[in-house]
Structure formats: structure tokens, C-alpha cells
Chain A
Amino acid sequence: MEEHIAVKLNKVIHQKSRLGIMSILVASEEAEFNYLKEKLNLTDGNLSSHLSLLEKEKYIKIKKRFVRKKPKTSCQLTEKGRQAFEEYLDNLEKVIRSVPKD
């Protein structure tokens, strides 16, 4: 008999690019804009919009500073972001386990 469990995945994190951003930030303490852009194959505009959404949800903190007169943007995961990510992972596991193997 198939086991059905209603699992609600966090839509903000579930999107592939944002999931990538969150994964990198969860593994590090801080990542720069250009690093995220390169690793996730995103354009400046795309990445900015994803970061803005994550910042709006208070999942990440965006820091801007100048290094040798050049602007540098870096991101950090907040405690709320870490919790949301852990919850998302738990739910992912539930989704995977909820469908029986053939």
C-alpha cells in the first residue's frame, strides 16, 4: 500500500538557484557575489534578484565593502536561514521516503 504524506517544501529555498546559494552559504561562513555567480552559472541580474528575495526573507545578510577602491559584495547565512535550510532538508528526506520503492 502506498504511503502518502503531505510535505510542504519551502518554495523560497526549493528553487534551484536559491537552493544552490543556500547550500554554498551553509557550508561556508561567507561567500562573495562573484563566487556564487561563477559556481551557479548565473548572470549578475539573476543572482541579485535571488539574493534580494533571500534577504527579504531574512535568510541571508548581504554585506558591501570596498577593497582597493573596488566594491565587493558578500553574503552570510542568518540563523533563521540555517534553520529554514535544515527544515527544508528534513522535508526533502520525507518526500524521498514517502514513496515506496518498486
Chain B
Amino acid sequence: MEENERQEALENLELIKELVLQTKKHMGSYGGGWISIIWGVFCLIGVAGQRLFIPQGALMGVWWTALIIIAIFASFLVNRIYIKAQPVRAKHEYMRYFLRFWLPLILLGYTLTLFIALTPSLSNHYIAIVMLLIVSTGYLIIGLLFYRGILYMGSIGYVCTTLSAIYFLEYSDIILGSLFGVGLIITGFVINKQWKNT
């Protein structure tokens, strides 16, 4: 076997790797940035609504349920629009990932939220704590399996949520809602910027 043949094989392997990586990157941001922004706004509006408009109690459940439905619908819509507009696509990749991974976690959070809301001895302040611990767990799992950057986000989320629960329980929803909301919005803009550069 000639050395130049081996060299050509190495070059071809490098080309394949580069193109596969570029394509995956391009597809990986299928509306992901905007979806992150939607969920960031969801956090901010959710907490603001909870504090400003709605007294603690059953209405809070209706408020969050309505917001979750709107956020899921908006995420789905953004994903569809992006898929149709993109020149390279993997059908429903993002939604498939969302449905398999995030939806069970959201449902778990929602069940725990209902449990806390319906248990008089538990403060409603724990709702934000539980929801954000679940979101942080999701980030930690994704971070451990795929992206190191998200692992840091998950770890920071975990530490901040725990510290808030211990030291500022009464204001934890405002602190954490703002932290996660702004964090998700910034992440969304970073993803959008990275996607534009690919």
C-alpha cells in the first residue's frame, strides 16, 4: 500500500468528519435558540404573574398550566417554521428529543407542583425550587452525556437553587425565576449567534 494512498485516506476521513460535524451543528440549532428564549420569557412572566397578579393558591396552578401550554405550543411552532425554512434538515429531531427527554421531566415537575399546591403544610415557595431542581437535573444529564457547557449551567442551577431554598426561601421564586429566565434568554441569543456563524 502506497504512503500517498494512506495520506489521501486520512484526508478523506478528515473531510468526512468536518462535514458531518458542520451539518450536525447546523441541524442542532433548529430553532433551539428561539425556543430557549421562549422558555426564558416563560420563567420571567411566570414569576412576575405569580407575584403581581395572582394570590397564592389554586389560581397559581391555572396560571402556570396556561403558560406551560403556551410555551410548548410556541416551541413546537418555532421548530416547524425553522424546519421548513432550513436548507438541511433532520425531520422533527428537536421535537423528538424534546418529547422523549424534557416532557417526562416537565410532567414530573407538574405532578410535584400539584402535590405541593394541594398540601397545606407545604409552602408554595417550594414549587419554584422543585421545578428548577428538575430543570437543573435535565441540564446535568444532557451535560454529562453530550455538551460540557450545559453541564456547567446545570451545576450552577443546582447550587443557586439549593442556596436560595436554604437562605431566601420567601424570595426564591423571584431570584430563581429571574436567574433562569435571563440565563435561558442569554443562552438563546448565544445559540442563535453560533448558528449564524456556521
Identify the A interface with B (CB < 8 A).
Answer: 4-5, 7, 9, 14, 16, 19-20, 23-24, 26-32, 34-35, 39, 89, 92-93, 95-96, 98-99
Contacts and interface: CB of A to CB of B under 8 A. Distances in A.
Nearest to A67: B84
Interface residues of B, number: 21
Contacts, number: 68
A95 B9 contact: yes
B19 A29 contact: no
A27 B24 contact: yes
B15 interface: yes
Contacts of A27: 19-20, 23-24, 27
Nearest to A21: B19
Contacts of B22: 39
Interface of B: 1, 3, 5-6, 9-10, 12-13, 15-16, 19-20, 22-24, 27, 87-91
Given A24-B19, A27-B19, A27-B24, A92 B89 contact: no
A98 B2 CA distance: 10
Given A5-B1, A95-B9, A96-B6, A32 B88 contact: yes
Nearest to A4: B1
Contact of B20 (A16, A23, A34): A23
